[in-house]
Amino acid sequence: MPITTCVFDAYGTLFDVAAAARQCASEPGREAFAAKWQTVATDWRLKQLQYTWLRALADAHTDFWTVTQNGLDYALEASALDHDAELRERLLALYWQLQAYPEVPAMLEALKTRGFNTAILSNGSPEMLDGAVKSAGIAAMLDEVISVEDVHVFKPHKSVYDMVTARFNCVPSEVLFVSSNCWDACCAAGNGFFTTWVNRGHEPMDRLPWQPQKTLQDLTLIPDIASAN
């Protein structure tokens, strides 16, 4: 069946998760952080994801804002910056205002012009996602913003992906799912979605039972992929 619905992961896919640390590092008086911001940003994102996986496996769900704070605390301690409470608060505040990647607004607008349903499917809490969507100015281009809080378990649990077909009353083959996380795109493919991995970092493919059907360097070609399938 043809694609009717285009669904996007949020953090790292539509929104630049390194933007908070990058912006903070550029502010006056942040020289100590500026020397380590890239390491902090990498560790923060990695631990944020790892804590979602571990909590899902341990049946110990919490909201994404908690694991975001936990990941930052680990990253700051690993870089010997955990003594700076003001830095922590500034980074967390900036995370609510993440920048969208430059091609996102035009890409979403093209999908809506061509008649596709559009949605976010994210680990993020509803409040976090609402802040990011409003900050990026893309609310009018999205039909749904779906959070894992509706099922109380993080990706890649099957119940998360099942929310898409339930919300749009469609079958998995009608869904184009897009993520910057290879594991996410792979697991969504295992759920029957047509998937695209946005590999901005030129990383190797994850070794999982499934693979995304397409790999791109950014989101520009998503409307063409949706129209062709």
Give the residue numbers annotated as catalytic, written as ranges. 9
* 61 φ, ψ (degrees, to nearest 5): -65, 145
The span from the CA of 156 to the CA of 122, in Å, is 10
Residue position matching structure tokens 């700076």:
84
93-130 per-residue burial string, b: 16 or more CB within 10 A, e: under 16 = ebbbebbbbeebbebbebbbeeebbbbbbbbbbbebbe
Closest to 227 (Cα-Cα) out of 114, 96, 102: 114
The span from the CA of 51 to the CA of 57, in Å, is 10
Which tokens belong to 49?
Answer: 């994801």
